């Protein structure tokens, strides 16, 4: 085994051990603002270099490490090439997450949407939305009834109180 190959092997084994500490951009060797073309180019270069089938039968330890790295490179490319997933991943990266979990991303998006909506209970939010929809239709009577229901669930919610006050004059 040549010295260059031995060094590369050590690098591969070390990288496989610390994969959980490397984010997708670092793994692909790209900047966080890299274009899709740059990400694709980096993926192809790494996929060629780290494809485990090139080393099948040589060394089981090396093969397993390459398999692990290759799976993570493929995962990184799949996430970073999709604009929606990339945006969610970048947001998670700011919170310290290194890997992308689609379910967690959906949950985070849902939670952010709920945080932007007034109210803290599902029932209060539902009645508030119904009151807004009634107002949009021009049905002030239904809007009053819905905001009254929302206030039953959350009597101190400022947005609900403001809408009730606005509707009280009519």
Residues 6+ apart with CB under 8 A from 119: 125, 128, 150, 153, 154, 157, 159, 160
pLDDT tens digits for the chain (170 residues)?
689 988 989 999 999 999 989 999 999 999 999 999 999 999 999 999 889 988 887 788 999 999 999 999 999 999 999 998 898 888 788 777 788 887 777 776 676 666 677 888 889 999 999 999 999 999 999 999 999 999 999 999 998 999 999 998 75
Whether residues 152 and 80 fall in one domain: no
pTM across the whole model: 0.63
Alpha helices in the chain (DSSP H): 3-17, 24-28, 36-50, 60-81, 83-94, 102-116, 122-137, 140-153, 158-168
Whether residues 106 and 57 fall in one domain: yes
DSSP string, 77-109: HHHHHSHHHHHHHHHHHHTT--S--HHHHHHHH
Whether residues 68 and 143 fall in one domain: no
Whether residues 103 and 159 fall in one domain: no
pLDDT score recorded for residue 108 = 67
> The domain spanning residue 80 has which CATH number?
1.10.287.110
Whether residues 11 and 44 fall in one domain: yes
Work out the number of other CB atoms within 10 angstroms of the CB of residue 132: 15
Whether residues 111 and 133 fall in one domain: no
C-alpha to C-alpha distance for 28 and 9, rounded to whole angstroms: 18
Domain that holds residue 76: 3-115
Whether residues 109 and 123 fall in one domain: no
Whether residues 81 and 110 fall in one domain: yes
Count of domains observed in the chain: 2
pLDDT score recorded for residue 113 = 67
Structure tokens at 132: 């807004």
pLDDT score recorded for residue 114 = 64
Whether residues 103 and 29 fall in one domain: yes
Domain boundary, last residue among 93, 115, 137 = 115
Whether residues 28 and 97 fall in one domain: yes
Residue 4 exposed, middle or buried by CB count within 10 Å (0-12, 13-18, 19+): exposed
Whether residues 131 and 89 fall in one domain: no
Whether residues 145 and 71 fall in one domain: no
pLDDT score recorded for residue 118 = 86
């Amino acid at each position: 085994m040549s010295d260059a190959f031995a060094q590369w092997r050590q690098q591969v084994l070390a990288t496989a051990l610390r994969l959980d500490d490397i984010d997708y951009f670092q793994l692909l060797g790209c900047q966080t603002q890299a274009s899709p073309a740059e990400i694709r180019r980096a993926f192809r270069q790494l996929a060629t270099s780290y494809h485990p089938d090139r080393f099948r039968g040589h060394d089981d330890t090396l093969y397993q490490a390459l398999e692990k790295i290759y799976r993570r490179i493929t995962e990184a490319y799949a996430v970073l090439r999709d604009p929606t997933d990339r945006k969610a991943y970048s947001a998670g990266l700011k919170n310290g997450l290194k890997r992308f979990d689609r379910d967690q991303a959906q949950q985070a998006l849902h939670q952010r949407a709920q945080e932007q909506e007034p109210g803290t209970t599902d029932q209060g939010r539902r009645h508030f939305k119904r009151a807004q929809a009634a107002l949009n239709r021009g049905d002030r009577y239904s809007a009053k009834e819905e905001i009254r229901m929302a206030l039953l669930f959350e009597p101190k919610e400022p947005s609900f109180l403001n809408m009730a006050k606005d509707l009280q004059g009519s």
